[in-house]
């Protein structure tokens, strides 16, 4: 007689087409019963209306019915509760990380993708200023301009005249822009007015090359990715190439922008990419005499953060120094460090590094070193 262990082993060959992991590993198999040659299997999918339901169910029946001693297979399909879905996402993410295609980004580097649902919300400005502010905290920071068509980071960092070059091993060396290790398509075109007329497949291939062929320093604490708007090829390639990536969503106070930004968060959820926080940009304007004007509405960032269950990292006010700093190549956190926008951006960077500290600080070795130092201090009375 066939055993439940043998059936479970057979079910490990049934792979969820969307997640790329077997249904046993994902925790979808809730029970297996065998009686008189009839096998009853209870499966819980992520949602009852899962589009892959028929395929998974037929694969289960086919795999198990082919086993000696099985006369019939009965499959009952249900839906997971929220806790089970959360556990499934964790397993799928771990599997993606363990089976990720190799890149030159150190697995210990924290990868922060700054994203938005639409253009025009100041995502690149936030990316640049976060990168500079995090670097000023003493961390080693890289910045990848993943907005292949709409590159703007080189100008914002005053690096438009720089070019990417390859070393003797044909590895692309990131440019050094104000202490930030920078890679952008803006550093490979003849000038910033050149249009890149690339189709979708070339966009994801460009991201692959930036991750596999660039000699990213192995001591990077953070790699900030300035993502293109939307939920297309680049976003899907990112979840495949860098499963350790985590998302910061940029929105404006306006309700319409908030709803569009929610789509990026939904993409991240379906790609098993954690959303770690929200930044609200253009959060009103305060005059020199203290009067405040909510030019684009109010509350959009707070509402989005509440809906996603993540912290609001910062509310960045409208500030003319942001514009001049971006045009002149000196980000506002450096050009006008005491301005309202710079203060808000530095505070957002500090909250971000507090939520996602450098991975080296969380390794077992580093914790043992900290403990040893504490014991030594206790012993010497320092």
Q: Which two tokens stand for residue 45?
A: 């999918």
The pLDDT-based confidence of 196 (bands split at 50, 70, 90) is low
Q: Which residue has the tokens 């550093």?
A: 187
CA distances from 138 to 79, 114, 277, 325 (A): 47, 21, 22, 22
Question: What is d(CA 99, CA 97) in angstroms, rounded to the nearest whole number?
Answer: 5
Q: Are 316 and 127 in contact (CB under 8 A)?
A: no
pLDDT, residue 11, reads 92
Longest dimension (CA), the chain: 85
pTM, 2 dp: 0.71
**What are the structural domains of the chain?**
4-98 (3.30.300.130), 110-364 (3.40.50.300)
Q: Which of 10, 51, 55, 54 is CA-nearest to residue 32? A: 10
CA distances from 110 to 139, 268, 283, 360 (A): 11, 17, 28, 10
The pLDDT-based confidence of 364 (bands split at 50, 70, 90) is very low
366 pLDDT more than 60: no
The pLDDT-based confidence of 97 (bands split at 50, 70, 90) is low
Q: Which two tokens stand for residue 91?
A: 């397993």
Q: Which two tokens stand for residue 11?
A: 């079910």
Q: Of 52-56, 311-315, 362-366, which range is least confident?
A: 362-366
């Amino acid at each position: 007689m066939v055993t439940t262990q043998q059936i479970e082993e057979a079910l490990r060959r049934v792979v969820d087409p969307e997640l790329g992991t077997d249904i046993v590993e994902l925790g979808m198999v809730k029970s297996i019963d065998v009686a008189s040659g009839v096998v009853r299997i209870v499966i819980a999918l992520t949602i009852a209306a899962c589009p892959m339901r028929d395929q998974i169910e037929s694969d289960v029946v086919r795999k198990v019915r082919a086993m000696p001693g099985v006369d019939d297979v009965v499959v009952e399909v249900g839906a997971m509760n929220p806790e089970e879905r959360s556990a499934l996402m964790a397993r799928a993410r771990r599997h993606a990380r363990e089976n990720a295609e190799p890149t030159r980004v150190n697995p210990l580097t924290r990868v922060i993708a700054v994203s938005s649902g639409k253009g025009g919300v100041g995502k690149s400005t936030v990316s640049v200023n976060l990168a500079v502010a995090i670097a000023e905290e003493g961390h080693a920071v890289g910045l990848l301009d993943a907005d292949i068509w709409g590159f703007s980071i080189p100008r914002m960092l005053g690096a438009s005249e720089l070019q990417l070059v390859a070393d003797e091993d044909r590895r692309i060396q990131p440019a050094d822009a104000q202490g930030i290790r920078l890679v952008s398509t803006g550093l490979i075109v003849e000038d910033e007015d050149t249009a890149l007329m690339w189709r979708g497949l070339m966009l994801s291939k460009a991201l692959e090359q930036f991750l596999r062929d660039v000699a990213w320093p192995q001591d990077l604490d953070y790699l900030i990715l300035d993502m293109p708007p939307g939920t297309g090829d680049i976003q899907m390639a990112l979840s495949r190439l860098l499963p350790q990536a985590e998302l910061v969503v940029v929105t404006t106070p306006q309700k319409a922008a908030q709803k569009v930004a929610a789509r990026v968060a939904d993409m991240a959820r379906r790609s098993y990419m954690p959303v770690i926080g929200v930044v609200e940009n253009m959060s009103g304007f305060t005059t020199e005499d203290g009067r405040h004007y909510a030019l684009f509405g109010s509350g959009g960032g707070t509402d989005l953060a509440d809906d996603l269950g993540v912290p609001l990292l910062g509310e960045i006010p409208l500030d003319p120094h942001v514009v001049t700093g971006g045009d002149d190549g000196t980000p506002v956190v450096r050009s006008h460090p005491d301005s309202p926008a710079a203060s808000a951006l530095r505070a957002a960077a500090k909250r971000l590094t507090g939520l996602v500290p450098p991975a080296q600080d969380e390794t077992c070795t580093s914790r043992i070193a900290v403990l040893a130092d504490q014991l030594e201090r206790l012993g010497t009375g320092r």
